[in-house]
Structure 1
Amino acid sequence: MPKGEKMAAGPNVLWYGNLSSRGIRPGLDNEIELLERLGRPQDHVRFIHVAGTDGKGSVCAMIESILVRSGMTVGSFISPEISRVNECIRLCGNEIDDADLEQILGDVRVHADAMAREGRECTSFEVLTAAALLFFKTVSTEIAVMEVGMGGRLDATNVIVPDVTVINNIGMEHTRFLGDTIESIAMEKAGIMKPGVPCVTLNDDEVFVHLLRHSEEVGCPMLRVDPSEISVVSSNINSVEIGYRGFAYTVGIPGRHQARNAVLAIEAVRLLGDYRDRIEPYVFDGLEEVSWPCRMQKLLAHPIVVDVTHTSGGAVCLARDVSELYGKVVLVFGMLSDKDVDAVSRALAPICSKVFATQPDSPRAMSADLVAETMGKYHEVDGTYRSLTEAMGAAMDARGDEVILVTGSFRMAEGVLKWIARSSRFSTYSQRNTWAEHIRGAIRRD
């Protein structure tokens, strides 16, 4: 098949896509049963388990990059996807290919359908988690990096016994499922701790006190990174230079906040039993060569920065970094209905010269009118559009020499990449590259 062409989705991938109608159901019973029927593939792989409100995907990408450079066969399970589900299951930095995904989902489907006939319907995330674990066993993965989907304690990924756990910054999110206090959310995320398995974190005292209490109850050794030991030497649109404990590192993802993520990745791999024998020489190269799409990412040849930020903490970091690197920007902004649009709007408003409110292409989208109404408390809204295509057109016409920042959701990132691929403004580029290729690699470096 020529490069750039995608195989049409097979019946098992289509079946998986239809499972989204089952919604979200936290709990481990279905996942445990499904994996039992699949022969417990999780027992054949080593793991690093990563939770947190912000930055856990970046930490996973950095750990993956370091381990791949060391020559290990590395799996990664990261969600949600931006363009297609293949992105969620990776082997040595590459997405699972279409044929393998179709086959693995078919193997899982046999048992998931049997469970459904017994009245135990698996959600799409439970199925995808099982597929990832089965794939990692099938291809003899040495170690896999697993990102928690939501929370931790009742997340489907919490069926593994990892070598190391990581809990990144914790903030208020998913309150419907995780509770409406920082303590309740911290305790849900602390649920990934296991007896005797070290856990790395850098949360502040308000959160750390709850994590520490749970770690003592479980018998989980805690390593708390001291933020005062982390420094940012320089920051540019492609990377950030950091200092940590007397060493200098280049991190190939832009943004000062990536310094904290990088240190969590460093400490996580340092806790692996084979760190000194196999991994230590590759930490510097792994961090420098890491690539992670749509994290304050400047699109090549386009005046557009894309970021998937959708939390208040993430928006604060994004605003600081974007202001430093680009000055004022034109904001194209949309969110999902279960997110804190007020907090995100308040954080982003000071960096905007103009704001165009819209909504992502998702059944969970917050209406453009509500986004505009909320942002309007902090910044004049220059246009409200129910279509991202219309919002991008207006932003391009109004931007002058300024950069356009598109943010608020993974689905916003997906939408703008699709818009670029089909837009007549960039027809020459689009003829050379599909939008899926664009997101997977042709974005990062000038």
Structure 2
Amino acid sequence: MNANPMDYRQAWHYLDSLQFFKIKLGLDSMERFLGRLGNPHHGMRFVHVAGTNGKGSTASALLAVLERAGYRVGLYTSPHLSCVRERFRIGAGYISEEQFARHAAAIHGVLNGEQITYFEFTTALALLWFAAEQVDLAIMEVGMGGRLDATNVITPLVGVITNVSMDHQAYLGNTLAEVAAEKAGIIKPGVPLVSGVAADDSRRVVEEHCRRLGAPLYLLGRDFSWSSSSAPSAEESWDYAGIRGGYSGLPSALRGSHQRDNLSLALATIELLVDSLSVGEEAIRAGLVGVAWPGRLELLHPPRPEGGSWRVLLDGAHNPAGVASLVAALGQDFRYHRLILVWASMADKDMAATLDLIAPLADIIILTRPESERSATPEALRVLLPEAARTSALTATTVAEALALARQRAEPADLVVVAGSLYLVGAARLLLAGELVASDER
């Protein structure tokens, strides 16, 4: 496959230009395009992860455990927090700038002036990289929905639908059943599905798809479950009752009871992979200790210019279900005197519902706007606040200004929570902790 060489900066700028192209190829066209790239996805083994919330945590847990078991595992996720290379991992390592540029140049050469979307480009790049690196398994996270998602060209060993709640209604539908039908589009004939869908319309849709396609369905709470002696914390052990067995006293590096759901989904998936990838108890325990998912209930202690540090909790919760999980975690896992909330939201989200959930917990609210054409203005957010919080809320024109206001007001016993948008969390994390991916990483 001949391609004009690109350096990393050229590849990144070309990819960035694709954000303005919104028309999707469709799966048939995506298949034909991958054919011109040599069908990198053919012959590879996959796990396909869809759902409204928890996809990244579930996928990261799968990666951590399978890596500890000795396998070479690729992970493709989205969106990224600050650097596009975060989307592509093999084990603990991110794609290098040289590898990114080389595979991007190959795609650019095959396109020969044709247009595809940003997500289609990154999906193709992930498949090329994983194939070239001969991974034992690739974990592919759906971007949005499932049925028409660019990742849905693969046939996995196991499919996962973490849960279904309302999000992206403009694209996925205005009822739970409609959203569930889009996510159930990843279900393949005869391929087992692991799911944490609740006992509502979403479960009925998933069950119907599985029956029609002859896909065995394994449900959290019915076929596998977890238990804990008290409200879960990151330090407390928990028990897993699985499809074929179970484990007691399991560790976890992730906070929040909802993360036990995600970890259980990962363990159930590993059970179903037993014929292809064997994983022992030692790898499970060691892997769970090492699970990390930046920007999701991630606690930082950044330094103050005058000395000492302050506590900042980053969480990418951006829809009502995600914010409800954040609220629950704040009550279970954290102790603080005052809660200082730094908040932003994309304008196409259910802004009123999320603010209604989180605003009553906050003693100080700072509204801001990350650099995104889709983000709501602080003034638009203020109008949606409960009346009691509306007049006292502060606004900041930039994320840096919002963090400075929070730091100035935060006392040692206070907790600053940055949430409402992954764009906000990514910008805040970059300012507070730097890049996840080193620029010279190879």
Q: What TM-score results when the alignment is normalised by the length of structure 2?
A: 0.89
> Is 2:212 aligned against 1:217?
yes
Contact 1:60/1:145, CA 8 A, preserved across alignment:
yes
Distance in 2, matches of 1:357 and 1:69, equals 41
Q: Which residue of 1 is the match for residue 260 of structure 2?
A: 259
Sequence identity (%)? 31
Contact 1:239/1:255, CA 8 A, preserved across alignment:
no
Residue 198 of structure 1 and its aligned partner are, at CA, apart by 0.2
Residue 348 of structure 1 and its aligned partner are, at CA, apart by 0.8
Distance in 1, matches of 2:93 and 2:48, equals 19
Q: Which residue of 2 is the match for residue 67 of structure 1?
A: 66
Q: Secondary structure at the match of 1:158?
A: helix
Task: Give the aligned CA root-mean-square deviation in angstroms.
Answer: 2.2
> Is 2:177 aligned against 1:208?
no
Q: Gapped runs of 5+ residues in structure 2? A: 1-5, 242-246, 303-309
Q: Gapped runs of 5+ residues in structure 1? A: 1-6, 422-434, 441-446
Contact 1:388/1:416, CA 8 A, preserved across alignment:
yes
Residue 376 of structure 1 and its aligned partner are, at CA, apart by 3.7
> Is 2:404 aligned against 1:393?
yes
> Is 2:410 aligned against 1:402?
no
Residue 271 of structure 1 and its aligned partner are, at CA, apart by 0.2
- Residue by residue, what CA displacement relative to the aligned partner does 1:23-80 show, whole Å, maximum 9, x if unpaired? 3637313321220101111013100000000111100000010111111110000000
Distance in 2, matches of 1:163 and 1:274, equals 10
Distance in 2, matches of 1:439 and 1:233, equals 40
> Relative to structure 1, is the Cα distance of residues 437 and 162 closer, same or farther in structure 2, using a 3 angstrom cutoff?
closer
More contact order relative to length (CA 8 Å, sep ≥ 6): 2
Q: How do 1:260-339 and structure 2 match up within 5 A? A: 260-274=261-275, 277-301=278-302, 302-324=310-332, 325-327=334-336, 328-339=338-349
Residue 405 of structure 1 and its aligned partner are, at CA, apart by 0.3
> Is 2:342 aligned against 1:343?
no
Residue from 150, 154, 159 that aligns with 2:153: 159
Distance in 2, matches of 1:24 and 1:237, equals 43
Contact 1:240/1:259, CA 8 A, preserved across alignment:
no
Amino acid at match of 1:231: S
Distance in 2, matches of 1:275 and 1:123, equals 33
> Is 2:189 aligned against 1:195?
yes
Distance in 1, matches of 2:209 and 2:366, equals 44
Distance in 1, matches of 2:276 and 2:44, equals 17
**Bigger proportion of residues as helix:** 1
Q: Which residue of 1 is the match for residue 178 of structure 2?
A: 184
Q: Secondary structure at the match of 2:417?
A: strand
Distance in 2, matches of 1:222 and 1:27, equals 27
Q: Report the more deviating stretch, 37-46 or 272-281.
A: 272-281
Q: Secondary structure at the match of 1:42?
A: coil
Contact 1:295/1:308, CA 8 A, preserved across alignment:
yes
Q: Which residue of 2 is the match for residue 426 of structure 1?
A: none
Contact 1:26/1:154, CA 8 A, preserved across alignment:
no
Q: What TM-score results when the alignment is normalised by the length of structure 1?
A: 0.88
